[in-house]
Amino acid sequence: MVTMVLLPEKKATHKLVRVEDGGLLLTALEPYCTATSLIEFARKDGSVHVHPQVRKRKIFVGQAQEHSSAIGIPSCTMSCVLDPGSWTKLAWSVVTGTLLVCLLLATSRMGSLYGDGEEVDAHVSYQATEDLGLCQMPQSPSCLSHDNRARLSSLPLDGSLTFSNTSSAASDFGLIRFSEPSAVVHPKSVSDIEAVVHAVLRDTRSGLTLAAKGRGHSVHGQAQALNGVVIEMSSLKGIKVAPHGEPGCSQPFVDAAGGELWIDVLKETLKEGLAPRSWTDYLYLSIGGTLSNAGIGGQTFLFGPEISNVLQLDVVTGTGHSVKCSPLNNPDLFHGVLGGLGQFGIITNARIVLEPAHEKVRWIRAMYTDFATFTRDQELLVSEPPESAFDYIEGFVVLKNEDPNNGWNSVPFDGKKINPSMIPEEGGSVLYYIEVVKKFSSNDVVSLGETVERMLAPLSFIPTLVFTTDVPYEKFLNRLHDVEVSLTSQGLWDVPHPWLNLFVPRSSIASFDALIFKHMIKDDFTGPILIYPLKRERWDSRSSAVIPDESIFYLVAFLRISFPASGPLLSSLIAENDKIMEVCHNAKLGCKMYLPEYEDLDSWKLHFGERWEAFARRKHKYDPDFILAPGQNIFPRIQTSPATAIA
């Protein structure tokens, strides 16, 4: 057997051929993995080496049995990465050895096949590669049928629908999975979404599915729909602030369409001197996307996740009906959709609680060498009464070195370097720091210093390693945007992000530190590591979100980045994540994955535990044909009774 991979010469491309569901995106940064070997392709020099570790993970492949003989190769398996207008390299890996062959695809030749930079239908792309004698990708049995295409084309939409410009809906922030849909809808109204759902429901033969996509900030293809229909929710707009509430509800709130971004909600509510209470760290996320998961950040210990700050939802269910729901009106749907991973309906509008906004914040970071002291102080802070607590509490793990991005020099606000002599010798290979914020207005400036000093007094951080700055409230909430702009300018934002987010019970956090932080985190780790406590009492147990069954548990987030010119390859990072999960499982730490990604039903049942039956019941009730959110890999659409998939 021969394994072949097309590698772009200059950069990774995401113009991929249609792929099978459940696999990994293969780019120039990613090795091709089979069940028997793992071959890693180096970045720019095209060198090839065989990795000693064998990884059994599904991967996108296309069979090219027929056309392999045309280029003098026996029966082969081929996975292609094509970028029109770029030179490519063709690497062949043989079972007994590795042969690297360069294949030059002329720009003019590719341009004539694809048109002058114009998006084309996926079928045309396959024909182009076939005409070149490279490979022939199989047509999946679930490709859009003539009847489905005609049915979708005939919909009287306020927005638009395309069958050719679908590549933007085929990947996400993770750049790990790639599943190209057959159609993409840009709705302008809720009726557009209802119409599309009904059209998909009418397909009774090919298993057509539907996914709602917000900003595309998923990292494992959760908002993708292979050969299905993707609804790009960003075109569904609408933000209306009610600073005085409404009759029967004096609580100020904002109504925001499911496709709106949190940053835009912030800007609109600040005009009224108000803002939502609970935030994620990054604000360029859609309302519907975060509420389908949880939405957590430094305010969660006070107000719960974003899903605990919703008064009302408008949802289009998998039956095609638009339903208004709240804790009192259709409560089962309301609680099911919140944290429901998109399985029960598409959020078209959310009513979110607001509070008075402040002018500025005092932002403080304090460092630790001892993990037990670090976590004790964090738990002390989150246990304070709300009126005496900081307004935001998070924590981080940094490498015990001078690296400006992941070491101790990443902690100061002003970019200055810490003198290594100030770092205590005790402790392991990592350091920790607490990050807290106190909101204030101009009238509070005089007493602010004394107040903050009193709040910090019980803590046992390193006195010489405390850093403080004052910034506008909006700038703090949107603090990661500057990071995004900087990385984008360097070409380092649109790179693979193999993230792993875990909820770790308080009873296991010390073991987690010993097994993972001190043992598995190496000097080449790239990306932030977050760790901070959350309180179970701030979460609504009726929602679909899954958390550990302890009063305090920790978010631990490994926000890895796979850089194109340095550091480990993507496959190695994914393997490290898998190893962390394996260690946690073997040590029986009781961790739950946040933003979960599993490949089989048994894993999902284990994830939900005793809540699985309620989750499956809601699926059967609100999406009985299993058309919604196929990228989560929970309920595959079947043409027999849906009950068989939830047995």
For 126-161, the pLDDT digits (tens) are 333 333 222 233 334 347 899 999 999 999 999 999
Distance of CA 45 to the CA centre of its chain: 31
Say whether both 22 and 107 belong to one domain: yes
Separation between Cα atoms, residue 556 and residue 388, nearest integer Å = 25
Q: Is residue 602 part of a domain?
A: no
Say whether both 429 and 560 belong to one domain: yes
3-state secondary structure of 93: strand
Give the closest residue to 641 by CA, choosing from 627, 628, 630, 625. 625
Residue 67 predicted with pLDDT over 60 = no
Separation between Cα atoms, residue 246 and residue 311, nearest integer Å = 12
Q: Of the residues 21, 281, 474, 576, which is catalytic?
A: 281
Q: Please give the residue range of the domain that contains residue 517.
A: 360-594
Say whether both 501 and 636 belong to one domain: no
Residue 103 predicted with pLDDT over 70 = no
**Per-residue model confidence (pLDDT) at position 214:** 97
Q: Are 137 and 80 in contact (CB under 8 A)?
A: yes
Residue 320 predicted with pLDDT over 90 = yes
Q: Quick one: pLDDT band at residue 566, thresholds 50, 70, 90?
A: confident
Min mean pLDDT across 91-95, 286-290, 544-548 is at 91-95
111-120 mean pLDDT: 32
Min mean pLDDT across 72-76, 311-315, 335-339, 384-388 is at 72-76
Say whether both 353 and 371 belong to one domain: no
Q: Of the residues 217, 335, 358, 620, which is catalytic?
A: 217
**Per-residue model confidence (pLDDT) at position 337:** 98
Residue 448 predicted with pLDDT over 80 = yes
Say whether both 342 and 372 belong to one domain: no
Say whether both 436 and 342 belong to one domain: no
Min mean pLDDT across 65-79, 249-263, 529-543 is at 65-79
Say whether both 368 and 321 belong to one domain: no
Separation between Cα atoms, residue 84 and residue 66, nearest integer Å = 24
- Comparing 113 with 543, the larger pLDDT belongs to 543
Q: In sequence order, which ranges of 325-422 are alpha helices (DSSP H)?
A: 331-337, 371-382
Say whether both 118 and 147 belong to one domain: no
- Please identify which residue in the block is written with the tokens 């290979």: 429
Residue 3 predicted with pLDDT over 80 = no
Dihedral sign (CA 125, 131, 135, 140): positive
Which of 85-89, 414-418, 496-500 tops mean pLDDT? 496-500
Letter string b/e over residues 351-382, b meaning 16 or more CB atoms within 10 A of that residue's CB:
bbbbeebbebbbbbbbbbbbbeebbebbbebb
For the chain, give the percent of residues with pLDDT over 70.
77
Mean pLDDT of the chain: 82
**Per-residue model confidence (pLDDT) at position 567:** 76
Give the closest residue to 169 by CA, choosing from 184, 159, 158, 154. 184
Q: How many folded domains does the chain comprise?
A: 3
Q: Is residue 606 part of a domain?
A: no
Q: Is 450 a catalytic residue?
A: no
Q: Is residue 599 part of a domain?
A: no
Distance of CA 386 to the CA centre of its chain: 30
Q: What is the CATH number of the domain that holds 559?
A: 3.40.462.10
Q: What is the CATH number of the domain that holds 176?
A: 3.30.465.10
The contacts of residue 117 (CB under 8 Å, 6+ apart) are 84, 85, 111
Q: Is 402 a catalytic residue?
A: no
Residue 266 predicted with pLDDT over 80 = yes
Say whether both 339 and 422 belong to one domain: no
Q: Is residue 608 part of a domain?
A: no
Say whether both 516 and 570 belong to one domain: yes
174-196 mean pLDDT: 97
Q: Quick one: pLDDT band at residue 639, thresholds 50, 70, 90?
A: low
**Per-residue model confidence (pLDDT) at position 355:** 97
Separation between Cα atoms, residue 209 and residue 217, nearest integer Å = 20
Q: Is 379 a catalytic residue?
A: no
Number of other CB atoms surrounding residue 314 within 10 Å:
19
Give the closest residue to 192 by CA, choosing from 149, 156, 228. 156
